[in-house]
Amino acid sequence: MIMKKLLILLLAIAAIQVHAQDLPHYKRIVKELSSAKYQGRGYARGGANKAGEYLEKEYRKAGVDAVIRQPFTIDINTFPGRMEMWADGKKLKAGVDFSMREYSPGVKGEFPVYHVDTLDFDADRMFADLARPENENCLVCCEFWFTYRHREAFARLQSRDGAPNAGLLYTWTSPIKFYKAYGHRVVDKPIIWVTPESVEGVRSVRVNVENEFLEGYGLFNVIAKVEGERHDSCYVFTAHYDHLGNLGRRVRYAGANDNASGTAAIVTLAAYYAGHRPPYDMYFLSFSGEDANLRGSEFYADHPVVPLDRIRYLFNIDMIGDNNPVQYCEVSDEGMRGYALFERINVDKGYFKALDRGELAANSDHYPFAVRHVPCIFLENQEGDAFPYYHTIYDDWKHAVFDSYEPVFRLVTDFIGQY
């Protein structure tokens, strides 16, 4: 009799563990999505769509009630070909010493370098210098944030008719970053991100970079549903599964933190809710096109599978693969009615040392919902050990951090249980 009761107890504990947060499952998904198989989950080599196909299988294995593919298209600039650069004859490393501005055209040739005088800057003098024969067809080199503060003058340098320079070198501290957000167009002149040390005092650079602009490129969102006891309203979890893809033929951006971490989290949440019937319908939206300026979530918000006004609360999980004990979040206006409970649960359970609520911004997939008056919260772990690798080649499995997964999982499931 005692053995029978013990067996029942052990089985009950095992059942609870199956339906609780699943760190090994979470790690497996992060490792898979950040592997070379998916080529940085970008667009030029089909990596994002391969990742989407993998997620469809994972949701089905998790036991959800339905998996829906929602296709859409984007125009996007990519760099799948040659990616080479030399500074005064020294070979620079793509993704380490330099990367491309996402809307840059390809470029090939050798160019003199004009270094902007930022200590005694005068825009008229700069343009006069650029008209001199020795600066003909040069690349203008300047610290990025300085160009941002003087963006009217430097915008002219990007235009074919604005100035005679061949392009620009924007210096950015190491590790060098890469972006896709404004890659829906290609500007007149090449713009190259470089580390300051790689071009300090350099007189000329040689470049061979190939771009490919993809028009009407097909992507898709992956939507999973777990049916609840009630269908009149629902909870929604979102995370984007695409990333930056490739920079040339050899460099890829694995995106372990951004955002294999959030994607893996909502797959394990789907498995958790599939294991026991929730009180309301649950939707798990894996978006593509986020790194191309929120294109997947914008498309979904305009074409929802369930009316947006039926969403009780939406959680957008992005870049939680870190270890800062303070959890950053953003909350929509309508979401504030649940934030006090969210914060109180965190204080009572001690999941995070504190919640750091920032201003609502168009920085992830919650934003298209927030501006459409959906109650939502965005969770992103900032300033931990993994955060400096954001949008760099070092955001990979080797640098993956898993500390925030379990507290995020428990915080959101506790909230849903009490809201």
What pLDDT does 277 receive?
Answer: 87
- What's the one-letter identity of residue 162? G
Q: Are residues 388 and 248 in the same domain?
A: yes
pLDDT of residue 2: 46
**Residue 13 within a domain:** no
Domain membership of residue 248 as a residue range = 20-76+215-418
pLDDT of 18: 41
Question: Any idea of the CA torsion for 101, 107, 113, 118, to the nearest 10 degrees?
Answer: -20
- The model's pLDDT over 123-134, given as tens digits with 9 standing for 90+, comes to 999 999 999 999
Q: Are residues 133 and 65 in the same domain?
A: no
CB neighbourhood size of 115 (10 A) = 16
Same domain assignment for residues 201 and 309: no
Instruction: Kindly state the DSSP code that residue 105 receives in the 8-state scheme.
Output: P
**Is residue 68 packed enough to be buried (19+ CB in 10 Å), middle (13-18) or exposed (0-12)?**
middle
Peptide bond before residue 259 is cis, with ω within 30 degrees of 0 = yes
Over residues 384-389, the mean pLDDT reads: 94
**Apex CA 194: angle with CA 191 and CA 197, to 5°?**
150
For position 228, which CATH number holds?
Answer: 3.40.630.10
| 187, 39: one domain | no
Residue 85 has pLDDT above 80, yes or no: yes
CA 44/CA 214 separation, integer angstroms: 8
How much is the average pLDDT of 154-167?
Answer: 92
Residue 49 is given by DSSP the state H
* CA pair distance 113, 78, nearest whole angstrom: 25
Write the pLDDT tens digit of every residue in 359-375: 999 999 999 999 999 99
- Checking if the pLDDT of 140 tops 80, the result is yes
Q: Of the residues 179, 209, 239, which one is the last residue of a structural domain?
A: 209
Going by DSSP bridges, is the β-strand pair 191-194/167-171 parallel, antiparallel, or unpaired?
A: parallel
Q: What is the mean pLDDT of residues 145-169?
A: 93
Domain shared by 389 and 348, yes or no: yes
Would you state the pLDDT for residue 118? Answer: 95
Q: Is 80 exceeded by the pLDDT of residue 138?
A: yes
User: Exposed, middle or buried: residue 8 (CB in 10 Å: 0-12, 13-18, 19+)?
Assistant: exposed
Final residue belonging to a domain, choices 209, 233, 249: 209
Same-domain pairing of 301 and 183: no
In a domain, 230, yes or no: yes
Counting Cβ atoms within 10 Å, is residue 266 exposed (0-12), middle (13-18) or buried (19+)?
A: buried
Give pLDDT tens digits for 181-197. 999 999 999 999 999 99
Alpha helices in 20-135 (DSSP H): 23-33, 47-62, 123-130
CB-based contact 270:62 (threshold 8 Å): yes
Distance, CA of 304 to CA of 307 (rounded, Å): 6
Say how many domains are in the chain.
2
Q: Is residue 137 located within the same domain as residue 160?
A: yes
CA distances, 196 to each of 121, 143, 309, 417 (Å): 18, 8, 49, 51
Task: Looking at the structure, tell me whether residues 176 and 264 fall in a common domain.
Answer: no
Same domain? 379 vs 284: yes
The confidence score (pLDDT) of residue 19 equals 42
- Residues 138-166 have a mean pLDDT of 94
Instruction: Look up residue 415 and give its amino acid.
Output: F
Question: Is 123 a domain residue?
Answer: yes
Residue 167 near residue 154 (C-beta atoms within 8 A): no
The reply to whether 6 falls in a domain is: no
Per-residue 3-state assignment (H helix, E strand, C coil) for 163-225: CCCCEEEEECCCCCCCCCCCCCCCCCCCEEEECHHHHCCCCEEEEEECCEEEEEEEEEEEEEE
**Residue 7 falls inside a structural domain:** no
pLDDT at site 13: 39
* Inter-residue contact 257 to 321 (CB < 8 Å): yes
Name residues whose C-beta falls within 8 Å of residue 401's C-beta, 6 or more positions apart in sequence. 257, 321, 322, 323, 384, 385, 386
Output the pLDDT for position 203: 97
Q: What is the pLDDT of residue 350?
A: 97
> Is the domain of 365 the same as that of 288?
yes
Are both 149 and 286 inside the same structural domain? no
At 276, is the pLDDT very low, low, confident or very high (cuts 50, 70, 90)?
A: confident
Token representation of residue 404? 């925030």
Listing DSSP states for 334-350 in one string gives TTHHHHHHHHHHHHHHT
At 184, which CATH number? 3.50.30.30
Q: Same domain for 323 and 385?
A: yes
Both structure tokens of 364: 């992830």
pLDDT reported for residue 21: 79
Does residue 184 sit within a domain? yes
Q: Which long-range contacts (CB under 8 A, 24 or more apart) does 275-278 make?
A: 275/18, 275/19, 275/63, 276/19, 277/227, 277/228, 277/229, 278/226, 278/228, 278/229, 278/235, 278/416
Among candidate residues 209, 242, 267, the one where a domain is terminated:
209
Instruction: Please report whether residue 15 resides in a domain.
Output: no
Q: What is the pLDDT of residue 9?
A: 38
Domain-embedded: residue 2: no
Determine the 3-state secondary structure of 380 from DSSP. Answer: strand
